Amino acid sequence: MLEFNAQTIAFIVFALFSLGGALGVVTTRNLIHATLYLILSLFGAAGFFVLLSAPFLAAVQVLVYIGAIAILIVFAVMLTRSMTRISDLYNRQWLLSAIVAGILFVVLLAGVIVPVWGVNGTQIDRPVSDVVAGTVDLGKALVDQNQYVLPFEVASLLLTAAMIGAIVIARDDQE
């Protein structure tokens, strides 16, 4: 079902990046390493966006997640430095959580795969369009008054509020 070409190889590599990185994030004791795994995982997701012909989102993913959020997390880890190595990695309900996450994964996977093969085991072939809207269309959609201009404005308001909130919360009152 998978033909062997560059796209497939790229997909497998990115899948390994994002899944392996995600596993590293939740299992690593050292938080700096966990952040680097997070960067790896996010990088894999950026690769997915490229494969899905959404280059703008891929670039923004690298810019926002890796360039800003990951660095922010590293700063937080270092500012709360004594806590980078905690004796107990997980809390007491880790077994229960693992079971819950496992069941969730099985359910999601079933929900993803069953519709593909149908009930009687025949794969439904949905044709994929080659015509894809580009970055220009995304930009126009975001400021089109019939589409997403209101969410866009709300998002910028949210960012402003988050900025002010972060400064107020993290500020040292002694000064």
Partner 1 sequence: MIPLWMYLAVAAGIFCIGTYGVLTRRNAVAILMSVELMLNAVNINLVAFWRYIEPLNMAGQAFAAFVFVVAAAEAAVGLAIIIAVYRNRRSVIVEDVNMLKW
Partner 2 sequence: MNEVVCSINHVVKCLTDAGVTPDLANLLTIIGGVVLVATVPLITVIFLIWIERKVAARVQDRLGPNRVGPFGLLQTVADALKMLTKEDITPIGADKFIYNLAPIIAFATVILIWAVIPFTPLHIGADLSIGLLYFVAVASIGTVKIMIAGWSSNNKYALLGAFRTIAQLLSYEVPLVLSLLIPVMIAGTMSMQGLVHAQGGMWYVFMAPVAAVMFFIANLAETGRAPFDLLEAESEIIAGYNIEYSGFKWGMFMAGEFMHAFTASLLAAVIFLGGWWGPGVEQVPVLGFLYLGLKTFVVYLFSLVLRSTVPRVRIDQLMALNWKWLVPISVANVLVTAFLLQLTKALGLAPQTGDFAAALPQTIILLLGNLAIVLVVLNLVRNIGRNERMAAAATDAAVGHSEDERVAVGAPGH
Cβ count near 157 (within 10 Å)? 10
- Closer Cβ to partner 2, 22 or 50, answer by number: 50
- Closer Cβ to partner 1, 119 or 142, answer by number: 142
Q: How many CA atoms lie within 13 A of 129 on its CB side?
A: 3
Please choose which of partner 2, partner 1, none residue 41 contacts, taking the beta carbon within 5 to 8 angstroms, the exact cut-off set by kind.
Answer: partner 1
Q: What's the rounded Cα separation, in Å, for the pair 109 and 120?
A: 17
- Closer Cβ to partner 1, 91 or 145, answer by number: 91
Min separation Cβ 30 and partner 1, Å: 11
Q: How far is CA 111 from CA 31, 48, 97, 115, 124, in A?
A: 34, 21, 21, 7, 15
Q: What's the rounded Cα separation, in Å, for the pair 167 and 169?
A: 6
Judge whether 84 and 73 are in contact, CB under 8 Å.
no
Indicate whether 45 belongs to the interface with partner 1 (CB under 8 A). Answer: yes
Q: By CB under 8 A, what part of segment 78-137 binds partner 1?
A: 79-80, 82-83, 86, 88-91, 93-94, 97-98, 100-102, 104-105, 108-109, 112-113, 116, 126, 128-129, 131-133, 137
Report the interface residues with partner 2, using CB under 8 A: 5-6, 32-33, 36, 39, 55-56, 59-60, 62-63, 66-68, 70-71, 74-75, 78, 134-135
